[in-house]
Structure 1
Amino acid sequence: MSSTRTVIVTGASSGIGLGLARAFLARGYNVVGNARSPERLAEAAASLGHGERFVGVAGDIADPATAAQLVEQAIARFGQVDVLVNNAGFFLPKPFVDYSAAELESLLQTNLKGVVYASQAVARHMIERRQGHIINISASVALQPNLAVPAALPVLIKGGINQMTRALALELSPFNIQVNAVAPGIIDTPMHDPAHRAFLDGLQPAGRVGRIEDIADAVLYLAGADFTTGVVLPVDGGMSSGKW
């Protein structure tokens, strides 16, 4: 086993996932990054540098075979998996009655099944080692729904991830595995149109959207927190504190 810690980050080719990969590399970790597109993953790897400490594994995280390959590649290259960050996912806000069957299926595939399959594959390895951290990226709106951002289906799925986080934290505690979640508010990523910035800034009591670095700081804390488990940590400028 290597003395250098290894993390798997899903959805690592852009946005928060790319920022997490960069933050873990800067902290000295080995990183195994996943994304659906081989081309975008190659671009991300080139932008990150640290070629010897970053391995890209392309594939749909909603496929159990991709999750298994992530663990296999991590062990083959670096000897173990110390941290899993279930970051892959997308946010689709719209009125509840307007969601299509195809949209529901897509949300379930990536936002739910991707978390389940990756967590199962990594947990089997961590149970054998009797140590590890699983960190789920949830959403602030799953803690405090917002009339200005109708998103009942993402709330349904991310709310389920929050409850799974707590249940899995208890189940895996005897194996010295910590399971936590980070619930971001609105974060400044390429998915947001700059023309909507003033509106988005106004959705947080803090008066601004979050930075990717804000999420990375929280994830890095949880990756090293051995006496914290079953926590859903809001990083949202106060957005989930209640009505304001």
Structure 2
Amino acid sequence: MKNKTVIITGASTGIGKEIARYFIEKGSFVVMNSSNEKNLINTYKSFGAPENVIYLTGDVSKQETGKKLAALAIKKFKTIDVLINNAGVFSPKPFLEVEENDLDRFWNINLKGTYFTSQAVIPQMLKQQNGSIINIGTVLVEHAIGGFPATAPLTSKGAIHALTRQLATEFGKNNIKVNTIAPGIIRSPLQRKMGIEDADSLAGLHVLNRIGEANEIAEAAYYLAKANFITGETINVAGGHTIGHNI
């Protein structure tokens, strides 16, 4: 992936930050995005302001943000080889308490963000007859937890899983690969935002009896970015969450 151009949304914190770090260290040209300008600049500086990185602040739920990211990548680095649709929001709320604005928030950021940013980069990938799109879903789409009510975000993530398969099918003949990474419980700021003070207390949800680390998602993203014969797949990076639990 050295000298390949990689766009990463939601790249200022958590999983997105680690994905960006991983690709930067491998010598990729990286375009970092976040809706939080302060966090994005701080993260860029924490990486040492590397020459192979540029960044753009913007809300991916707005179609113009995806277009700006694609245009910036082409202007600066000439190609768009990989898009990692990491930007997203997730929080639990009982089904009977979900309101319209809750659904709008998850669908706008999670699904529309993934949809519009993919729409923005595919024309360049068609010109190249090559490219890789990696979406971030969740294992909870296929393996829900009764004590964790999250219908609003899960429906948006489930739509991303479906979008992955359809895009892979539509553009496979153009050598554009589209896959989903479905993380389990990963150590990141997200847990604290959801009110989970001790993320390690959830270790039993995985048969490996531990939670995952953000760099393990980055490793999976790097593998899929390089893979030339994998498309339309959902790769669970979840320590066995979908096959069993430790209680």
Which interval holds the TM-score relative to the shorter structure?
over 0.9
- Correspondence for 2:149: 150
SS of 1:85's equivalent in the other structure is: strand
- Correspondence for 2:175: 176
CA distance in 1: counterparts of 2:200 and 2:231, whole angstroms: 36
Structure 2 residue 43 is the aligned partner of structure 1 residue 44: yes
Shift of 1:197: 2.8
- Correspondence for 2:106: 107
Unaligned runs of 5+ in 2: none
Amino acid across the alignment from 1:205? V
SS of 1:178's equivalent in the other structure is: strand
- Correspondence for 2:130: 131
Amino acid across the alignment from 2:231? T
Shift of 1:203: 2.0
- Correspondence for 1:195: 197
Given the superposition, is the C-alpha separation of residues 198 and 57 from structure 1 closer, same or farther in structure 2, using an over 3 Å criterion? closer
CA distance in 2: counterparts of 1:241 and 1:20, whole angstroms: 26
Written as runs of structure 1 = structure 2, the 5 A alignment for 1:80-99 is: 80-99=79-98
Shift of 1:199: 2.8
CA distance in 2: counterparts of 1:61 and 1:198, whole angstroms: 31
CA distance in 2: counterparts of 1:149 and 1:169, whole angstroms: 31
Residue by residue over 1:60-117, the C-alpha shift from the partner in whole angstroms, topping out at 9 and shown as x without a partner, is 1011111000011101111111000000001111211111221111101100100000
> What is the aligned counterpart of 2:215 among 202, 213, 231?
213
Asked if the contact 1:30/1:78 (under 8 Å) is kept, the reply is yes
Shift of 1:163: 1.2
Structure 2 residue 225 is the aligned partner of structure 1 residue 223: yes
Amino acid across the alignment from 1:28? G
- Correspondence for 2:166: 167
SS of 1:181's equivalent in the other structure is: strand
CA distance in 1: counterparts of 2:55 and 2:112, whole angstroms: 20
Amino acid across the alignment from 1:130? Q
Shift of 1:180: 0.4
CA distance in 2: counterparts of 1:198 and 1:82, whole angstroms: 36
CA distance in 1: counterparts of 2:185 and 2:200, whole angstroms: 12
SS of 1:183's equivalent in the other structure is: strand
Residue by residue over 1:118-145, the C-alpha shift from the partner in whole angstroms, topping out at 9 and shown as x without a partner, is 0000111101110000000001101211
Asked if the contact 1:166/1:231 (under 8 Å) is kept, the reply is yes
Unaligned runs of 5+ in 1: none
- Correspondence for 1:75: 74
- Correspondence for 2:237: 235
CA distance in 2: counterparts of 1:29 and 1:198, whole angstroms: 32
Q: Percent identity?
A: 39
Asked if the contact 1:165/1:181 (under 8 Å) is kept, the reply is yes
Shift of 1:50: 4.7
Given the superposition, is the C-alpha separation of residues 98 and 123 from structure 1 closer, same or farther in structure 2, using an over 3 Å criterion? same
Structure 2 residue 54 is the aligned partner of structure 1 residue 55: yes
TM-score, length basis structure 2: 0.94
Pairs aligned (count): 242
Asked if the contact 2:107/2:153 (under 8 Å) is kept, the reply is no
Asked if the contact 2:102/2:152 (under 8 Å) is kept, the reply is no
TM-score, length basis structure 1: 0.95
Asked if the contact 1:185/1:235 (under 8 Å) is kept, the reply is yes
Asked if the contact 2:110/2:157 (under 8 Å) is kept, the reply is yes
CA distance in 2: counterparts of 1:38 and 1:234, whole angstroms: 31
